[in-house]
Amino acid sequence: MTSPVLEVDALLDTAKILVCTGSGGVGKTTTAASLALRAAERGRRTVVLTIDPARRLAQSMGLSELDNTPRRVEGVDGAKGGSLDAMMLDMKRTFDDIVLTHAEPAKAEAILANPFYQALSSSFAGTQEYMAMEKLAQLVATGGYDLVVVDTPPTRSALDFLDAPERLTTFLDGRMIKILLAPAKAGGKAYLKVVTAGFNVFTSVLTKIIGASVLQDVSQFVAALETMFGGFRERAQATYDLLKADGTAFVVVAAPEPDALREASYFVERLAEERMPLAGLVVNRVHRPGSAALSPERSLAAAESLDESGGHPLAAAVLRLHAGRMTLAAREQRLQERFRHAHPGVAVVQVAALPGDVHDLDGLRTVGADMAGAAGSPAA
């Protein structure tokens, strides 16, 4: 079955937000960096934001490190007016910035000093995904970039940020928040009165689990943050809407392997459920067959014949290598055909397997040119 072809250059020339998602180990970070570099060298002011904790993106762009501030990537061809910045999400710094921006100074100081906040902003489940949405919105709001490329975490949680508005609303409207707010709202000695009168069973159990001081830290944190809740909810929903708007596109990245393509199917179906704009699938590290005139069977037969004659061991080894490559390419092709049958409308593009890892801008250019079907020039 023939699938539509993902027109990469047309996508890079028109998209405002490009979200690369997929399972781990499929070259997603390299794909995101390659797309960002190609867009920059086609004349667009581009920034690539990685949420992946790996350092591959910084290394491939010649940067010693990435942090929460966009850093200019040197060595990019800016002849057409484009530029490339790169950054890595620091969820605690992003959370701190939100507090400092949207809370009164005294309240912001109380929030930042709260022990529960310090734990929440560093490692609480779901914080990373929510902060990724916040940082994406901030980058778009600056107006300094034509294109924002987002490299998501290498797991199914890569799409958790799609649930952020709903999870946040559920959290803010939940019974737990009301319970935690009640003591702080009551104030002073009324704290114990509220606990013993209204929530004695619940809080006694919770106190045994997490401790009285921690419970009080949580209550005080929630009370201090209460005035910001509306802003959190509104910004989360606004970013969610931004991801569905014209100019946003999702690219699913996979390798030609059963597990990776199964995960790709999950991502495609999840995006369809959310009505998110899917641009297509990039299949990385594809082994393209050599001469089709020499089948694997004929190659192996010729190699065995040479072995029997006792001559040309190098030629026999090359024939076996060719047979193995042809067999692998056929297997990968069958796996991709299954995906195409399951998702016939999804545009697909292949990227050939490289002999080594991508570790510099030239390597990223090679990948980008292959994706765009323009092996000659990165800005064709």
Q: What is the reported pLDDT for 178?
A: 57
Q: What does each C-alpha distance from 201 to 34, 40, 128, 196, 218 come to in angstroms?
A: 56, 59, 33, 8, 18
Q: Is 345 exposed, middle or buried (0-12, 13-18, 19+ CB in 10 A)?
A: exposed
Q: What is the reported pLDDT for 166?
A: 64
Chain Cα centroid distance, residue 262: 17
Q: Could you tell me which CATH class the domain 8-290+329-372 is placed in?
A: alpha beta
Q: What is the reported pLDDT for 288?
A: 78
Q: What does each C-alpha distance from 374 to 2, 9, 81, 172 come to in angstroms?
A: 20, 9, 20, 50
Contact yes or no for 372/380 (Cβ under 8 A) = yes
178 backbone φψ class: left, alpha, beta (φ>0; ψ -120 to 50): alpha
Q: What is the reported pLDDT for 378?
A: 39
The domain spans of the chain are 8-290+329-372, 296-328
Split the chain (380 residues) into runs of 10 and give each run's mean pLDDT: 87 96 88 96 96 70 82 95 92 83 83 78 66 84 95 69 64 56 50 45 44 58 62 76 93 95 93 94 87 70 74 78 80 93 95 88 94 60
Q: What is the reported pLDDT for 377?
A: 39
| 0.85 surpassed by pTM | no
Q: What is the reported pLDDT for 210?
A: 43
